[in-house]
Structure 1
Amino acid sequence: MAHRTSFRVRFSEIDPYRHVNHAVYVSWLEAGRVEALEDAGMGLDLLQADGIQIVITAIDVKFKKPAVAGDVVTIETEVAETRRASSRWHQRVMRGEEVLVTADIHVGICDDAGRPTRPPEGFMHKLAALGN
Protein backbone atom coordinates (compact mmCIF):
# COMPACT_ATOMS: atom_id res chain seq x y z
CA MET A 1 0.00 0.00 0.00
CA ALA A 2 1.31 3.43 -0.90
CA HIS A 3 2.57 5.74 1.83
CA ARG A 4 0.83 9.14 1.81
CA THR A 5 2.05 12.57 2.90
CA SER A 6 -0.22 15.62 2.53
CA PHE A 7 0.33 19.36 2.87
CA ARG A 8 -0.87 22.71 1.56
CA VAL A 9 1.04 24.44 -1.27
CA ARG A 10 2.83 27.53 0.05
CA PHE A 11 3.03 30.85 -1.78
CA SER A 12 6.85 30.61 -1.78
CA GLU A 13 6.59 27.51 -4.01
CA ILE A 14 4.80 29.39 -6.79
CA ASP A 15 6.65 30.69 -9.85
CA PRO A 16 5.85 33.80 -11.97
CA TYR A 17 3.29 31.73 -13.92
CA ARG A 18 1.24 31.31 -10.72
CA HIS A 19 1.73 27.56 -10.38
CA VAL A 20 4.20 25.38 -8.49
CA ASN A 21 7.67 25.55 -10.03
CA HIS A 22 8.81 22.23 -11.53
CA ALA A 23 11.87 22.03 -9.25
CA VAL A 24 9.63 22.13 -6.17
CA TYR A 25 8.04 18.81 -7.12
CA VAL A 26 11.42 17.06 -6.90
CA SER A 27 11.79 18.34 -3.31
CA TRP A 28 8.28 17.19 -2.49
CA LEU A 29 9.05 13.74 -3.90
CA GLU A 30 12.16 13.52 -1.73
CA ALA A 31 10.14 14.50 1.34
CA GLY A 32 7.65 11.74 0.50
CA ARG A 33 10.40 9.13 0.25
CA VAL A 34 12.06 10.25 3.49
CA GLU A 35 8.76 10.18 5.40
CA ALA A 36 7.95 6.73 3.99
CA LEU A 37 11.33 5.44 5.18
CA GLU A 38 10.91 7.03 8.62
CA ASP A 39 7.41 5.62 9.06
CA ALA A 40 8.76 2.17 8.13
CA GLY A 41 11.40 2.41 10.87
CA MET A 42 14.24 3.22 8.48
CA GLY A 43 14.92 6.89 9.16
CA LEU A 44 17.96 8.45 7.54
CA ASP A 45 19.65 8.80 10.94
CA LEU A 46 19.36 5.04 11.50
CA LEU A 47 20.63 4.29 8.00
CA GLN A 48 23.62 6.58 8.52
CA ALA A 49 24.39 4.85 11.80
CA ASP A 50 24.48 1.57 9.82
CA GLY A 51 26.81 3.15 7.25
CA ILE A 52 24.13 3.14 4.55
CA GLN A 53 23.34 5.89 2.06
CA ILE A 54 20.33 5.91 -0.23
CA VAL A 55 21.21 7.72 -3.45
CA ILE A 56 19.13 8.60 -6.48
CA THR A 57 20.60 7.15 -9.68
CA ALA A 58 17.80 8.23 -12.03
CA ILE A 59 14.55 10.16 -11.83
CA ASP A 60 11.88 10.44 -14.52
CA VAL A 61 9.21 13.03 -13.74
CA LYS A 62 6.07 13.60 -15.82
CA PHE A 63 4.16 16.84 -15.22
CA LYS A 64 0.47 16.44 -16.04
CA LYS A 65 -1.37 19.30 -14.31
CA PRO A 66 -0.18 22.25 -12.21
CA ALA A 67 -0.69 22.76 -8.50
CA VAL A 68 -1.37 26.31 -7.33
CA ALA A 69 -1.12 28.21 -4.05
CA GLY A 70 -3.52 26.88 -1.44
CA ASP A 71 -4.01 23.45 -3.02
CA VAL A 72 -3.76 20.49 -0.67
CA VAL A 73 -1.54 17.92 -2.34
CA THR A 74 -0.71 14.36 -1.37
CA ILE A 75 2.54 12.61 -2.22
CA GLU A 76 1.95 8.89 -2.74
CA THR A 77 5.10 6.79 -2.44
CA GLU A 78 5.59 3.09 -3.07
CA VAL A 79 8.48 0.80 -3.80
CA ALA A 80 7.85 -0.92 -7.13
CA GLU A 81 10.87 -3.25 -7.16
CA THR A 82 13.76 -4.25 -4.92
CA ARG A 83 17.06 -5.85 -5.85
CA ARG A 84 20.20 -6.67 -3.85
CA ALA A 85 21.50 -3.10 -3.60
CA SER A 86 18.95 -1.04 -5.50
CA SER A 87 15.26 -0.35 -5.81
CA ARG A 88 12.76 1.38 -8.05
CA TRP A 89 10.17 3.68 -6.55
CA HIS A 90 6.95 5.07 -8.01
CA GLN A 91 5.50 8.33 -6.74
CA ARG A 92 2.51 10.50 -7.58
CA VAL A 93 1.55 14.00 -6.58
CA MET A 94 -2.22 14.14 -6.20
CA ARG A 95 -4.80 16.88 -5.68
CA GLY A 96 -7.75 14.91 -4.43
CA GLU A 97 -8.25 12.24 -7.10
CA GLU A 98 -6.38 14.22 -9.79
CA VAL A 99 -2.89 13.06 -10.74
CA LEU A 100 -0.65 16.13 -11.09
CA VAL A 101 2.77 14.49 -11.37
CA THR A 102 4.14 10.96 -11.72
CA ALA A 103 7.73 9.95 -11.06
CA ASP A 104 9.80 6.81 -11.37
CA ILE A 105 12.94 6.89 -9.24
CA HIS A 106 15.86 4.47 -9.32
CA VAL A 107 17.67 4.27 -6.00
CA GLY A 108 21.04 2.76 -5.17
CA ILE A 109 22.39 1.75 -1.79
CA CYS A 110 25.95 2.81 -1.02
CA ASP A 111 28.36 2.65 1.88
CA ASP A 112 29.91 5.72 3.53
CA ALA A 113 32.53 5.87 0.76
CA GLY A 114 29.84 6.01 -1.93
CA ARG A 115 30.43 2.47 -3.21
CA PRO A 116 27.45 0.24 -4.00
CA THR A 117 26.82 -2.17 -1.14
CA ARG A 118 24.27 -4.60 0.12
CA PRO A 119 22.17 -3.25 2.98
CA PRO A 120 21.91 -4.84 6.43
CA GLU A 121 19.83 -8.00 6.70
CA GLY A 122 16.12 -7.28 6.69
CA PHE A 123 16.44 -3.85 5.09
CA MET A 124 15.21 -4.85 1.63
CA HIS A 125 12.33 -6.80 3.20
CA LYS A 126 11.21 -3.65 5.04
CA LEU A 127 11.66 -1.64 1.86
CA ALA A 128 9.58 -4.12 -0.14
CA ALA A 129 6.78 -3.68 2.42
CA LEU A 130 6.42 -0.12 1.08
CA GLY A 131 5.26 -1.65 -2.20
CA ASN A 132 1.74 -2.16 -3.44
Structure 2
Amino acid sequence: MRATYITDVSIWASEFTFSVPVTVRFSETDMYGHLNNTVAFTYFEYARIEFLKHAGLMNDWLNPEGSAIPVVADLQCDYVKQVFFDETLTIYVKVATIGNSSLDIHYMAKNEQDDIVITGRGSIVQIGRESGKSVHWTEKEKLHFTN
Protein backbone atom coordinates (compact mmCIF):
# COMPACT_ATOMS: atom_id res chain seq x y z
CA MET A 1 0.00 0.00 0.00
CA ARG A 2 1.58 3.29 -1.03
CA ALA A 3 -0.88 5.72 0.58
CA THR A 4 1.00 7.98 2.99
CA TYR A 5 -1.95 8.12 5.42
CA ILE A 6 -1.71 4.35 6.02
CA THR A 7 1.13 3.10 8.21
CA ASP A 8 0.03 -0.50 8.76
CA VAL A 9 -2.79 -1.56 6.44
CA SER A 10 -4.05 -4.41 8.65
CA ILE A 11 -4.35 -2.17 11.73
CA TRP A 12 -5.79 0.68 9.65
CA ALA A 13 -8.41 -1.58 8.04
CA SER A 14 -9.43 -3.16 11.36
CA GLU A 15 -10.42 0.25 12.78
CA PHE A 16 -13.40 0.75 10.43
CA THR A 17 -16.81 0.03 11.96
CA PHE A 18 -19.23 1.84 9.58
CA SER A 19 -19.88 0.80 5.98
CA VAL A 20 -22.38 1.00 3.14
CA PRO A 21 -22.74 -1.26 0.08
CA VAL A 22 -22.69 0.01 -3.52
CA THR A 23 -23.03 -1.85 -6.79
CA VAL A 24 -21.06 -0.54 -9.76
CA ARG A 25 -23.52 0.63 -12.41
CA PHE A 26 -22.85 0.36 -16.13
CA SER A 27 -22.89 4.17 -16.44
CA GLU A 28 -20.01 4.36 -13.93
CA THR A 29 -17.64 2.37 -16.14
CA ASP A 30 -15.49 3.11 -19.17
CA MET A 31 -15.58 1.24 -22.49
CA TYR A 32 -13.49 -1.58 -20.96
CA GLY A 33 -15.94 -2.10 -18.09
CA HIS A 34 -13.57 -0.55 -15.50
CA LEU A 35 -14.87 1.82 -12.85
CA ASN A 36 -14.32 5.40 -14.06
CA ASN A 37 -11.66 7.08 -11.90
CA THR A 38 -14.01 9.91 -10.86
CA VAL A 39 -16.69 7.61 -9.44
CA ALA A 40 -14.72 6.67 -6.32
CA PHE A 41 -15.22 10.26 -5.12
CA THR A 42 -18.99 9.84 -5.55
CA TYR A 43 -18.84 6.65 -3.50
CA PHE A 44 -16.85 8.48 -0.82
CA GLU A 45 -19.49 11.24 -0.76
CA TYR A 46 -22.34 8.75 -0.42
CA ALA A 47 -20.59 6.85 2.38
CA ARG A 48 -19.56 10.07 4.17
CA ILE A 49 -23.14 11.38 4.16
CA GLU A 50 -24.52 8.07 5.42
CA PHE A 51 -21.84 8.06 8.15
CA LEU A 52 -22.70 11.63 9.19
CA LYS A 53 -26.42 10.78 9.19
CA HIS A 54 -25.61 7.78 11.39
CA ALA A 55 -23.67 10.14 13.70
CA GLY A 56 -26.79 12.32 13.97
CA LEU A 57 -25.32 15.46 12.41
CA MET A 58 -26.98 15.80 9.02
CA ASN A 59 -30.32 16.99 10.45
CA ASP A 60 -28.68 20.03 12.03
CA TRP A 61 -26.66 20.81 8.92
CA LEU A 62 -29.66 20.43 6.60
CA ASN A 63 -31.90 22.61 8.77
CA PRO A 64 -32.31 25.92 6.85
CA GLU A 65 -32.26 27.71 10.20
CA GLY A 66 -29.08 25.94 11.33
CA SER A 67 -25.98 28.05 11.82
CA ALA A 68 -23.26 25.65 10.64
CA ILE A 69 -22.58 23.50 7.56
CA PRO A 70 -19.81 21.06 6.58
CA VAL A 71 -17.58 21.72 3.59
CA VAL A 72 -15.05 19.38 2.00
CA ALA A 73 -11.60 20.95 2.29
CA ASP A 74 -9.63 18.27 0.45
CA LEU A 75 -10.09 14.77 -0.89
CA GLN A 76 -7.73 12.14 -2.25
CA CYS A 77 -8.11 8.66 -3.64
CA ASP A 78 -5.72 5.78 -4.17
CA TYR A 79 -6.67 2.99 -6.57
CA VAL A 80 -5.40 -0.38 -5.37
CA LYS A 81 -7.15 -2.92 -7.65
CA GLN A 82 -9.34 -2.76 -10.72
CA VAL A 83 -13.10 -2.53 -10.19
CA PHE A 84 -15.61 -3.65 -12.83
CA PHE A 85 -19.24 -3.26 -13.78
CA ASP A 86 -21.76 -5.03 -11.51
CA GLU A 87 -19.31 -5.66 -8.67
CA THR A 88 -20.64 -4.99 -5.20
CA LEU A 89 -18.31 -2.95 -3.06
CA THR A 90 -18.44 -2.18 0.63
CA ILE A 91 -17.38 1.42 1.31
CA TYR A 92 -16.04 1.95 4.83
CA VAL A 93 -15.72 5.32 6.59
CA LYS A 94 -13.98 6.34 9.80
CA VAL A 95 -12.78 9.52 11.47
CA ALA A 96 -9.00 9.38 11.72
CA THR A 97 -8.48 12.65 13.61
CA ILE A 98 -10.69 15.36 15.06
CA GLY A 99 -9.51 18.96 14.94
CA ASN A 100 -11.13 22.03 16.48
CA SER A 101 -13.55 22.40 13.56
CA SER A 102 -12.29 19.77 11.12
CA LEU A 103 -12.31 16.02 10.64
CA ASP A 104 -9.81 13.90 8.77
CA ILE A 105 -11.95 11.11 7.32
CA HIS A 106 -10.57 7.88 5.85
CA TYR A 107 -12.25 5.61 3.29
CA MET A 108 -11.72 2.01 2.28
CA ALA A 109 -13.55 0.08 -0.44
CA LYS A 110 -13.51 -3.72 -0.49
CA ASN A 111 -14.82 -6.04 -3.16
CA GLU A 112 -16.79 -9.25 -2.60
CA GLN A 113 -13.54 -11.21 -2.15
CA ASP A 114 -12.68 -8.87 0.78
CA ASP A 115 -9.81 -7.31 -1.19
CA ILE A 116 -9.11 -3.62 -0.66
CA VAL A 117 -9.69 -1.99 -4.05
CA ILE A 118 -9.75 1.75 -3.21
CA THR A 119 -8.53 3.82 -0.27
CA GLY A 120 -8.88 7.51 0.40
CA ARG A 121 -8.90 10.33 2.86
CA GLY A 122 -10.22 13.83 3.08
CA SER A 123 -10.94 16.70 5.43
CA ILE A 124 -14.22 18.35 6.15
CA VAL A 125 -14.53 21.61 8.04
CA GLN A 126 -17.59 22.88 9.87
CA ILE A 127 -18.18 26.53 9.00
CA GLY A 128 -20.72 29.18 9.88
CA ARG A 129 -23.48 29.34 7.28
CA GLU A 130 -23.35 33.13 7.15
CA SER A 131 -19.82 33.96 8.32
CA GLY A 132 -17.96 31.30 6.31
CA LYS A 133 -15.57 30.99 9.27
CA SER A 134 -14.78 27.75 11.05
CA VAL A 135 -17.10 26.65 13.86
CA HIS A 136 -15.64 24.48 16.62
CA TRP A 137 -17.10 21.06 17.33
CA THR A 138 -18.96 20.79 20.61
CA GLU A 139 -17.93 18.05 23.02
CA LYS A 140 -21.25 16.31 22.21
CA GLU A 141 -20.45 16.39 18.48
CA LYS A 142 -16.97 15.01 19.10
CA LEU A 143 -18.51 12.03 20.91
CA HIS A 144 -20.50 11.17 17.76
CA PHE A 145 -17.25 10.74 15.84
CA THR A 146 -15.63 8.40 18.32
CA ASN A 147 -18.59 6.03 18.81
Alignment TM-score, normalising by the size of structure 2: 0.80
Larger radius of gyration: 2
Residue 127 in structure 1 maps to residue 135 in structure 2: no
Residue 58 in structure 1 maps to residue 63 in structure 2: no
- Structure 1's unaligned 5+ residue stretches are none
- Percent identity of paired positions between Structure 1 and Structure 2: 21
Partner of 1:102: 119
How many angstroms does 1:120 deviate by? Answer: 4.4
Q: Aligned partners of 1:103, 1:39: CA distance in 2, in Å?
A: 20
Equivalent residue for 1:39, pick from 48, 54, 61: 54
8 Å Cα contact 2:26/2:85 also seen in 1? yes
* Alignment coverage as a number of residue pairs: 128
8 Å Cα contact 1:65/1:99 also seen in 2? yes
Partner of 1:3: 18
Partner of 1:12: 27
How many angstroms does 1:48 deviate by? Answer: 3.3
Partner of 2:5: none
Q: Aligned partners of 1:46, 1:31: CA distance in 2, in Å?
A: 18
- Structure 2's unaligned 5+ residue stretches are 1-15
